[in-house]
């Protein structure tokens, strides 16, 4: 034999052997990952792409459906942070779920080429029962409805601190002019008028877009698409909305930490009275409720909600991310039938239970309002019912809407870009997307 191996070498050989066994064992374990159950009652297994942010009421709905139908729901979580981008990337890999929670904005739906990939739902009963909400989203470029809207949509408006306004003898502002006026009063008293959340980026479009919606009318987006007008035309409602927003910023009406404040910070700010208004949507009401320690009465005493617009109040509505479902075409007729069956169940037999558990208002006719809604939630519902409601600007344009909306807005608040430059940027983005999509006339 070759020279005697020092003991250390033999130990190392043993070590290698142990490590190799661990590796093989580990790989074997990995191979036996928990097998997805194949339906306890012999039913089909439906894959559902779901948002990690789904409230318990939604998860309970899935369990209830499993019990009722004997089918199995397999939940695939997609993180709520960057939800739309992550879901689209998953879609790009060729993966297809049976049921897909998604953002109900028309420009998002368009990204999935719905005519080719989604089951049309236009003639379904639950669409008819949804009423006007389908003017704000849920449809594809061809006008067909491709998503079921089951949950109350996001309603945008102004949350305000009742005590602050009362202290200065002010009524809740509903127009740009009133807001500017109140800003002068509040500034003098050291109160921030609007709590803006540049740290979260997306709430920045609340004011400019709400104002735009209130003046753009039902045809502006289609006019842009068939080139009757452009986004950067001098009379563009979007330009007006942005310029009005800029006027508020330049007038010192926003908070000094606008670039880093998150929307949670803004909620705290308005609740405490440091700021008077926050422009954001109805799904943030639970955050206000949390701020009030869960005390709905306290919330109702402190906070109110009003519609808002450029010249007259309007309500900007966007089908949210929770409670909007698309059914991709998978070619498996049993699963497609079961998926549709799920929607019928969720909007039919189970609907009232869902409303009662989630405490959200019903968007479909034929259900009664929940008794657990907070006073603020009731004000939001009243605003929605009073209307006029309009979609999010850009949601009805090409896939992807305006393009880099958040970047443009976060530049706007640090004066890195002017409103005119923003609308020009949006127009050129829509133009290049329309061209790539082969839309007629571009």
Partner 1 sequence: MILTRRDRVFAVVKYVLLSLFAIPWIVIPIWTVLVNSAKTPAEAAALGMGLPTQWNVLENYGIVFTDGDYLVSLFNSIVVTVPTIVAVVLIGAAAAWAFGRSRGWTSKTVFYVISLSMLIPPTLLPTIFLLQTIQLDGSLPGYILVMIGTRLGIVVFLATGFVRALPDDLEAAATIDGANRFQIFTRIVLPLLMPVLFSATVILIVFVWSDFFFAQFLLTGSARQTLPLALYNFANSSGQTLRWNLVFAHVVLTALPLLVAYVFLQRRVMGGLTEGALR
Partner 2 sequence: MTHEQPAATDPVRRRRRRAFWVLWFALPATSMVGVFFLIPQLLNLRFAFSNWRSTSSSITFNGLDNLVYLDESGELWHGIGVTLMYAVIAMVVQNVVSLLLAYALRETTRLNSAYRTIFFIPVLLSPVAAGYVWRGLLAPDGPINQLIGVVVPGFDWAWLGEPSTALFCVAFIDAWKWIGLTTLIYIAGMNLVSPEMIEASTLDGANAWQRFRHMIFPMLAPAFTYNTVVNLVAAFSAYDVIQATTAGGPGDATRAINIYLRLEWGQGNFGAGSALSLVVTVLVIAAAIPLIWILRRREVAQ
Does 124 participate in binding partner 2 (rule CB under 8 A)?
A: no
Binding mask 214-253 for partner 1 (x = CB under 8 A): ----------------------------------------
DSSP designation for 317: E
Contact 328, 162 (CB under 8 A): no
Residues 6+ apart with CB under 8 A from 298: 292
Are the C-beta atoms of residues 262 and 197 closer than 8 Å to each other?
A: yes
Range in contact with partner 2 (rule: CB under 8 A) among 110-118, 210-218, 277-285, 323-331:
110-118
Joined tokens for residue 270: 């308005």
| Sole window of 10-18, 133-141, 304-312, 420-428 interacting with partner 1 (rule: CB under 8 A) | 10-18
Helix axes 237-250, 405-412, angle to 10 degrees: 40
SS3 433: helix
CA distances from 291 to 14, 157, 167, 202 (A): 60, 19, 21, 21
Identify which range of 85-93, 142-150, 161-169, 370-378 contacts partner 2 by CB under 8 A. 85-93
3-state secondary structure of 393: coil
DSSP 341-382: HHHHHHHTTTHHHHHHHH-PPPSSTT-PPPTT--HHHHHHHH
Q: Which of residues 250-309 bind partner 1 (CB under 8 A)?
A: 263-264, 283-284, 286-287, 290, 293
| Cis peptide leading into residue 324 (ω within 30°) | no
**Which range binds partner 2 by CB under 8 A, 81-89, 130-138, 223-231, 348-356?**
81-89
- ∠ Cα 426 428 434 (to 5°): 100
> What is the smallest separation between the CB atom of 29 and partner 1, expressed in angstroms?
5
**Residue 79 engages partner 1 in binding (rule: CB under 8 A):** yes
By CB under 8 A, name the one of 171, 228, 260, 272 that touches partner 2. Answer: 260
Pairing of β 315-318 and β 154-161:
antiparallel
Q: How many beta carbons lie within 10 A of that of residue 89, not counting itself?
A: 12
The answer to whether residue 89 forms part of the interface with partner 2 (CB under 8 A) is: yes
Window of 31-39, 60-68, 331-339, 402-410 that interacts with partner 2 by CB under 8 A: 402-410
For residue 2, give both structure tokens. 């070759």
User: Which region among 78-86, 165-173, 341-349, 385-393 touches partner 2 (by CB under 8 A)?
Assistant: 78-86
Size of the site for partner 2 (CB under 8 A): 31
337 contributes a contact to partner 1 by CB under 8 A = no
Least spacing, CB of residue 48 vs partner 2, in Å: 20
Q: Binding of partner 2 at residue 439 (CB under 8 A)?
A: no
Residue 414 contact partner, candidates partner 2, partner 1, none, CB within 5 to 8 A by sort of partner? partner 2
Cα–Cα distance for residue pair 58/51, rounded to 1 Å: 10
Q: Which residues bind partner 2 (CB under 8 A)?
A: 82, 84-85, 88-89, 91-92, 110-113, 116, 198-199, 201, 257, 259-260, 399-400, 403-404, 406-407, 410-411, 414, 416, 432, 436-437
Q: Which residues bind partner 1 (CB under 8 A)?
A: 1-3, 5, 8-9, 12-13, 16, 19-20, 22-24, 26-27, 29-31, 33-34, 36, 52-53, 55, 74-77, 79-81, 86, 89-90, 92-95, 263-264, 283-284, 286-287, 290, 293
């Amino acid at each position: 034999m070759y020279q005697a191996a020092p003991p250390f070498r033999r130990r190392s050989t043993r070590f290698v052997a142990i490590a190799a066994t661990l590796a093989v064992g580990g790989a074997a374990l990995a191979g036996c990952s928990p097998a997805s159950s194949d339906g306890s009652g012999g039913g089909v297994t439906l894959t559902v792409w779901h948002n990690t942010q789904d409230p318990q009421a939604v998860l309970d709905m899935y369990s209830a459906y499993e019990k009722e139908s004997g089918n199995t729901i397999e939940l695939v979580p997609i993180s709520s942070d960057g939800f739309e981008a992550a879901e689209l990337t998953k879609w790009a890999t060729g993966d297809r779920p049976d049921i897909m929670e998604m953002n109900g904005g028309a420009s998002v739906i368009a990204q999935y080429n719905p005519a080719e990939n989604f089951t049309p739902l236009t003639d379904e009963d639950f669409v008819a029962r949804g009423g006007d909400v389908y003017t704000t989203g849920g449809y594809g470029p061809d006008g067909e409805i491709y998503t079921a809207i089951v949950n109350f949509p996001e309603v945008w408006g102004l949350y305000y601190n009742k005590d602050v306004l009362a202290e200065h003898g002010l009524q809740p502002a509903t127009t740009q002019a009133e807001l500017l006026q109140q800003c002068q009063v509040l500034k003098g008293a050291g109160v921030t008028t609007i709590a803006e959340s540049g740290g979260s980026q997306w709430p920045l479009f609340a004011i400019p877009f709400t104002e735009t919606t209130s003046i753009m009318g039902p045809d502006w987006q289609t006019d842009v698409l068939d080139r009757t007008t452009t986004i950067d035309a001098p009379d563009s409602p979007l330009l007006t909305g942005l310029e009005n927003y800029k006027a508020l910023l330049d007038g010192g009406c926003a908070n000094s930490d606008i670039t880093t404040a998150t929307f949670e910070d803004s909620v705290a700010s308005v609740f405490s009275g440091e700021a008077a208004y926050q422009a954001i949507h109805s799904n943030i009401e639970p955050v206000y409720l949390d701020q009030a320690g869960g005390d709905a009465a306290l919330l109702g005493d402190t906070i109110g909600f009003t519609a808002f617009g450029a010249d007259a109040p309007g309500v900007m509505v966007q089908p949210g991310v929770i409670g909007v479902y698309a059914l991709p075409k998978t070619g498996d007729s049993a699963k497609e039938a079961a998926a549709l069956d799920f929607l019928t169940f969720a909007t039919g037999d189970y609907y009232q239970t869902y409303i009662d558990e989630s405490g959200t208002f019903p968007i479909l006719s034929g259900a009664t309002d929940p008794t657990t809604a907070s006073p603020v939630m009731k004000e939001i519902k009243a605003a929605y019912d009073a209307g006029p409601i309009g979609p999010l600007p850009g949601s009805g344009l090409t896939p992807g809407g305006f393009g880099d909306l958040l970047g443009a807005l976060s530049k706007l608040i640090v004066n890195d870009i002017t409103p005119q430059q923003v609308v020009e940027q949006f127009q050129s983005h829509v133009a290049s997307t329309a061209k790539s999509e082969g839309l007629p006339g571009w």
